[in-house]
Amino acid sequence: MSVIELKDVSKLYGFGDATTLALDEVSLTIEEGEFVAIMGPSGCGKSTLMNLIGLLDRPTHGEYSLGGRRVSRLTASRAAKIRRDRIGFIFQSFNLIPRLTALENVALPLTYRTNMSQTKRLKMASSILDRVGMQSREYYMPNQLSGGQVQSVAIARALVNNPSLIIADEPTGNLDSNGSRLVMELLSEIHKMGNTILFVTHNPELTRYANRVLYMHDGRVIHDEKTAIGRVASTASEGMYKIAKMTEEDDLAGVSALMKAKPHKDNPPARRGRKRKTTTSKRRATPKKKPAKTKATK
Ligand SMILES: Nc1ncnc2c1ncn2[C@@H]1O[C@H](COP(=O)(O)OP(=O)(O)OP(=O)(O)O)[C@@H](O)[C@H]1O
Ligand SMILES: [Mg+2]
């Protein structure tokens, strides 16, 4: 059965000259139990797509059905309820509340269950932490955990309401290879239990865990590949992913355009305004700083 059905979904940000077409008539069906990797260059619309699918945002045009129900135009409170009951989120960073222990962080999504005692909530959280191999860290504060451990706790928190759909936007973006493996193995375990998982990655190696890989470019899904779990998707490391790779001339042209636009020394041509389009190996070596694009538009 299709869990997710998008039909001609577009998302526009901004107005007039400053309009960005973040998603351009995307039609997509995802079946229950699929483990989908979403790849594509920076700015191509991956997070926008995840936010729409996760009901954190609404499409400008088009239809979205989740579990057979039309959800494109829900009120914020209805969307929040569906999110709470069906969807677990894992993000690249800002995952845990720093002043709460691992256990309290995991129990947080249960707060709305007013008929459940705090002791019961903590018990539930504890058993989920156990499931992700983090029981011995229950009372640690987030700053006492490694990156991989923080993400394991974040995965536990995403699971605590027993969602059927897990959305992970670059869950390994800030992790080294051990941390990445830990997180992906956990997601695999969750997948084996029947969950549908969507994850965004820039790392072609991680397509090994998926059984389907979507490649995005300029707000569209330009390639959709079914893959065998355990294998890197055939086009992940070459072809599709390198569409966005810039030549040295492109880089120089971009820099000189910026210098022309902002010539004054008190207003230097901030590199952050330029779209990052690097090779995949460079990406892995340099963890991404998320808010660059918002700063650039100020
Ligand atoms: N809130 C917003 N307001 C205006 N423009 C936005 C907003 N969010 C995203 N965009 C624009 O929409 C496009 C798609 O952004 P999105 O964050 O979905 O890209 P992405 O593929 O997730 O990139 P990355 O790999 O860098 O995370 C970009 O051009 C971005 O600048
Ligand atoms: Mg993103």
277 CA → ligand 1 middle, Å: 14
List, in sequence order, every residue forming a beta bridge with 69; answer none if it has no partner: 66
Predicted local confidence at residue 254, as pLDDT: 46
> Which phi and psi angles does 155 have, rounded to 5°?
-65, -40
The answer to whether residue 212 is domain-embedded is yes
Q: Which residues, in sequence order, are CB contacts of 64 under 8 Å at separation 6+? A: 4, 5, 6, 7, 9, 52, 53, 70, 71, 72
Question: Which residue of 21, 48, 201 sits with most ligand 1 atoms within 8 Å of its CB, as the best mutation to test the pocket?
Answer: 48
The answer to whether residue 126 is domain-embedded is yes
Count of domains for the chain? 1
The answer to whether residue 295 is domain-embedded is no
User: Considering the entire predicted model, what is its pTM?
Assistant: 0.79
Do 170 and 287 touch, CB atoms closer than 8 A? no
- The CA R_g of the chain, rounded to the nearest whole Å, is 20
Ligand 1 atom with the smallest distance to the CA of 41 is 25
pLDDT band for 97, please (50, 70, 90 cuts): very high
State both tokens at 44.
């191509």
**Pocket lining: 42 vs ligand 1, CB cutoff 6 Å:** yes
Which ligand sits closest to the CA of 278? 1
Mean pLDDT of the chain: 81
The answer to whether residue 144 is domain-embedded is yes
State the residue range of the domain holding 196: 34-58+75-240
Neighbour order of strands in the sheet with 2-13: 20-31, 2-13, 61-66, 69-70
The answer to whether residue 143 is domain-embedded is yes
**Pocket lining: 275 vs ligand 1, CB cutoff 6 Å:** no
* Angle subtended at Cα 252 by Cα 251 and Cα 258, rounded to the nearest 5 degrees: 95
158 CA → ligand 2 middle, Å: 19
Q: Say yes or no to pLDDT of 291 above 50.
A: no
**Pocket lining: 173 vs ligand 1, CB cutoff 6 Å:** no
First to last CA, the chain: 44
Q: Where residue 134 sits, what CATH number does that domain have? A: 3.40.50.300
Ligand 1: which residue has its CA nearest to atom 19? 43
The answer to whether residue 216 is domain-embedded is yes
Ligand 1: which residue has its CA nearest to atom 20? 43
The answer to whether residue 218 is domain-embedded is yes
The answer to whether residue 279 is domain-embedded is no
Ligand 1: which residue has its CA nearest to atom 16? 45
The pLDDT tens digits of the residues spanning 216-269 come to 999 999 999 898 888 888 777 665 555 444 455 545 554 444 444 444 444 444
